Structure 1
C-alpha cells in the first residue's frame, strides 16, 4: 500500500492526533492511534509500536490495510470496517491481523468515529488489543467441545460426565455464554450471564434480545441478527448497549456464531462480556480531548505543536490569526517550507536548540513578511515541540515610539537655541506683557544693520515700543501688528499674519509677520517672526506678468491647446480648444475630465502608447490625423509635448492640434493633378501610337487605291469596282478606329456625370439578361455574392461596361469542352472596396503577356474573334473611378480579376474614392 502524502491532512485531524499523543502515549497494552476518513494513519503510540511492530516514522501516512491479511484486503474488509464505524458511530471487530514481521495475531479492534464542532467528519480513533492468547483459549474451548461431542457419540456413559464437566466450564467462565434457537429465544445461559446483566433465567425468558437493546442500537442489532442468520458458522462480533436488570444500560461485547446447522449444537452461540468500563475510559479520553481543545482555543496566546520533523500537528485559532492562514494550510506541513524567510533567524535557531538540548527556550523575534513581533516559549518532548507564542507587535511599536520620543526630546532640548539661530526669519519671543525674552541671530543682525540702537538687541524691552521707533514702517501697519499681538496673547486668535512694505536705506522691502502663541501651558506669550519676502514679491510680480504674456500667446494662437496632468486629466485649455471641441466634436471640454472622454474608443490604446512614450523619453511626438466632421474630412497636425519640472520630472502633457486641412487639400490636389498629368501623358502616348499605327494602314490603303483610280481609264470598270470596294473597306476600318478613339476620349468626360446609387446584384442580372443567348449557347454559369457590399454610389455606365467586358471575356475565352463558371463577389478590406471576377477559362500566360495585357488592340489569343478593346476599357474605366485592376491567372485553370477602389462616405453612402 503506497504511503499517503502528509501534505493533504484532513481538517482538524492533527489536533486529535496531538491530543491522543499527549493522553495515550505511554499506554503499551493497547494500540491506540488515529486515522483519517480514508483510513490513513495519523498518530501512533507505544502500545501500537509494541503490538504492531512498526515505529512511528515507519507507519505514519500508511493505510490500515497493511495490518489486514491478503484475503481480508481482497474482500475490502478495511473499507467495510470504516463504513460500519461511520454508520454506527462505533464498530468493534475481531480477526486476524498482521505484524510488521509478517506474524499474524488475533486482535480485538474498536473503531470510533470523530467529528469536529461543525459536525464534519475528521477521522476515526482505532483501539487494537492483542487477544491471541484469549483466542487460543477460545479455540481450545471449541476443540474441547468438539472432542466432548465426539466422546458423547462414542460413549454414552461418558456423555453425562463430560456434559457435566462442560457445563461446569461454561458456568464458571468469566464471559457470559448463551445458546439461542432460530427465533433467538434463549435455551441456555451460563451463570456469568446473570452476573453480567442481572437477569435470572426466568426473567430473561420473557424478554427478547431487541427488547433489551438500547433504542439507538436496535436498528444495528436487527442488521446484526440478519447477518448472523445468513452466515452459518461465521463468528459475528458486535458491541452495543443492553438494559441491565437495575434499569441502566451496559455496553456488552458479543461474538455470535450460527451453529444451527451443527446437529450436535443446533443453536446460536453467543459469548459476551461487559465492556462498560472500557467504554467509560474511551468517553473519558474524548472528554479530556474536548477539554484540552477548549482550553487551547480559548487562551489569548497562540499554541503550536510540531512533530520531530517540525511538521504542524496542531495550531489554535490565535496562531491562524497571527499568520493569516487557515488550519488546513498549516497542518501536516513542514514549518520552514511555509515560512522560508525565517530560516537562520533567531526563531529557526531556537527551535533547533529546543529539539537538540530538550530544554525550555524563551525568545523574541521579528518576522518581516508579516511585520510581526512575537514572543515564544518552547517546550520540547520526545514527540516534538510545543510552542506558546504571543503577538507583541504593538508593544514593540510602543517601545520604539517611546524610545524615539525620548531621543527627540533630547535632541529638541539640545538644538532649540540652534534652531532659532539657524532660521533666516527675524524671530522674537515675547511674554504676556509684550516684553522680549529671547531673539535669534537673524534678529540681532537686523537690529545692527538698521541702527535700531536697542541695548541687548531689545531683550527686556517692549516689542511694540521698538516697532514704533523703526524707520520705514507706517503707523497703520504698526497698529495692525499691535492688535494682532494682543489677540494672540489673550487667546482671541490662534495665529496672526500680515504682509507689509517698508523702506530701509531708501530701498523698498517686503516682510511677512507671523505671530503665534508660545507652546507653553504654564506661561503666556508669543513668537513673532519677520520674514523677508522681497524676492518672493518680485518673483510674483514677474510671474503675473509672464503668465499674462503666456496667456496672451495661449489665447491668440491658431492652435488648439490642452494641458493634461500625468493621468491625462484636463488641467487647462485655450479658447480655440473650447470652441473647436464644441463645434467639431460636439463635446464641451471640462477641467478635470479625462482625455479618453474625447477620443474614439478604438484610439485609446494608441493614445496610451503615445503618452507613455512622451513620459519615458520626454520627447515630442508628432503625427497627422483626420476626422469626418459634417461629411467633410478635417486634417490636424498633432503634437504631444512632455512638461517637466526643475528636477526634469514629468508633471504633465501638452496636446496641440493644428488645422492643416487646407494644406492637405492642396497636397491632395497637387497629387491628383500630377497623377492626371501622368495619366494624360500616357493617354497621349497611347493616342499617338494609335494614330501612327492603327490609322496609318487604312490611310495608306486609301491613298494607294486613289492613285489606282486615277490611273484607270473609262473602260476599266472591273478594276474600278475592285478599287472602290477596297477603298470602302479601308474607309470603314478608318471609321471604326475613329469611333474607338472617340469612345476613349469620352471616358474622362463621363466620369463626372450620371453618379447614382446602383445595386451590384441588379447590375449582374441586367448583364445576364442582355447576353442571355450567349450564356445559353455556351452553357455558362454566373453566380455572385454581394453580402459584404451590394450598393455603390458611382457611375453606373462605367460599372456596367466593366462587369460586361469581364463577363463576356470569361465566356469567350472558355476552355474547350468545359462549361464556363463565373463567380463575382464583393468585400471590404482595410477601407477598400474589393470586387473579384473568377472563371475557369483558358487562363492567361502572365509571364508572356503581362506587359500588353491591358493595351489597346492587344490580342494574345487569336483563336477567338475580337478587337483587343475589352481589357483596355476595363482598366481605363476602373482607373477613372480611382481604382486599380490586378489579375491572377494560370493557363488551363482559370483567371481572377481583382478591382480595388479606395472607399469613403458621401451622403451616408459608400462610394469609390474617385474624382467625383
Structure 2
C-alpha cells in the first residue's frame, strides 16, 4: 500500500514539474522555443515564437518548420539538412535569414537539438530561435563604415598622388621622406624610388643645411603644429626655385607624432615679378620726376598708387581718361569709389588688397564705374609696394578698359549661336524640300485614282475633292519654296544687269489671275533707277513675293493698290520699295514675319516661307530689307542694295 502511494506521489510530482516547465517555456517572449516531431512538423508553440514569427499556435502547429525558410533554402533542402546535422552532431546551430508570417525577413540564430526517450528512440527535436536583426544591422553598418573609410583613404591617396601643381609628400618623425606624389616629381625632379627614404634636407642649400634650418623647420612644426616659409630650394639637376613650403605635424589619436606632411609650391615666376617690380620701384625712386612724367603720359592704362589703406595717392592721364575724374577730385578718396554698390557691400575692394598682400599681386576682371555712373569692363592688377626694409608703403594699381573686347566677345558668342541655329534650320529645309516630294506625288496619284474609282459619283463629293486638290497644290508650293531656300545655301546665282520695268512686267504677268480676281492696281515709279546688277532669278523671287503678298493681304473694304518705286539713298545705296494699302502688320509682328513659317495673318492661304526666302536672299548678298507698317493702313517693304546700277 505504501509503495502504491509513493508511485502515485512520484507521478504527480513529475506532472507538476512538467506543467511548470511548460508554463515557463510558454511565457518566454525573447526566444521562439518549440518542438518538432521526427519529420520536422511543429507540435508546440510558445509566446516568443508567436512574437518573433507572427503565427498564432493554431495557425502553425501541424505545419512543417520549413515554412520559415526562403524558397531558395527550400529548393536546396536546407531544412532537412539542419535536422540531419542535428542528429549527426547531437545539435545544430546556425545564423541566417528566416521569414515571418508577413513575408518580412529577420536574421535568426537557430539551435536544433534532437530529443530521445528513455529507450534512446528519437521522439522529435527542440528548436530555439533568437531574432538577431538589430545585431546584424549594427554589424553591417560597421562593415559598411569600414569599407567607406578604406575607400576614402584610397581616394585621398589617389587625389594627392595625382596633384601636379604642388609637391605633396610625407616625412617620418625624423624627416625622412616616406611618400612622393606627381607634383613632387615634377617640381623637384626626383623619381619616387630615388628619394623615398632620404632626408628632406636634399632640397636645401649647403648653407641652410649647415645652419640646421631643415631641423629647425621640423622643430617649429612640432612645437606649433605647422610651419610656413618661403625661400630658395634646389632640384635634382641643381637649379634653384623660389618655394612656398608648409610643414604640418601629424599625430595619432594618442597624440603620438606619426610624422609630417609637407606641401611645396613653386613661386619662382611670382618672385621674379616681385623682384622686377622692386627694381622698377628703385629706379623710379632714383628718378622720380622722369617716372612720373612717363606714367602721366600713358593714356591707355589707368596707373595709380594707393596707400596701404587703399586711398588714392597718385593719378595719371590714362586714369583720368578711363575713369573720368580729375586728379584733384579723386586723390585722397578710397579706391572703392570705382566699384558698384554690391561689390562695396561685400567687401570686395578690401579683399583685393588682402589677396595682393598674400600672393604678391592680384589680378581680376569685372565691372567698374566712371565718374558719370557708366560702367566699363576692367582688367585690374594690384601689386603691393615695399621699401628696402620690406615694409608695405602702398599698392600699384593698373587698370585697362576692356569694354570693347568684352562687347566683341559677347557679339561673337551670339553670332556663333545664331550661325549654329541657321545651319540647323538650313539642314532641315534642305531635307524637307527633298523628302516631301515623293509623298506629294503619291498623294496626287492616289487622289487621281480616287476620282477615277468614284466616276460619276465623284460629283457628289466635288467640294471635298476640290479641297483636297487645293491642299495638295499648297503643299507643292511649300515644298517648291523650301527647295528655293535650300538652293540658296549653295549659291547666290550669277549676276547680270536687270531691267526693272521688264522684270516687274514678267512678275505681274505670272500673277495676272490674282491681279484680275482682286482688281488690284499696280503703280510703278522707276525714276530713281531702272536697272540693277543682281541675280535675275533671286530678284524676280523678291519682287514676286512682295507684290503677290501685297495683293493677297489686301484690305476687304478697298481696292488693292501696290506701288513699286526706286530711289537713290544719300548713303549711295540703291533702294527699292513695295508699298500697299492693305491690312498692315502690328508692331509686335514686324520682327517675326521674316522667320520661317511665320505669318502676320492666318485667314489668307500661304506657306510662311516667302518673306523668309526674301530675307535669306538679301542676307546672302549682303543687302537689307525693313518693313514699316500701320495696321488697317498698309505696309512699306524697303530693300537697299549695295550693288551699283548699270
**Structure with bigger RCO (C-alpha 8 Å, 6+ apart):** 2
Same fold (TM over 0.5): no
Is the radius of gyration larger for structure 1 or structure 2?
Answer: 1
What TM-score do you get using the length of structure 1 for normalisation?
0.21
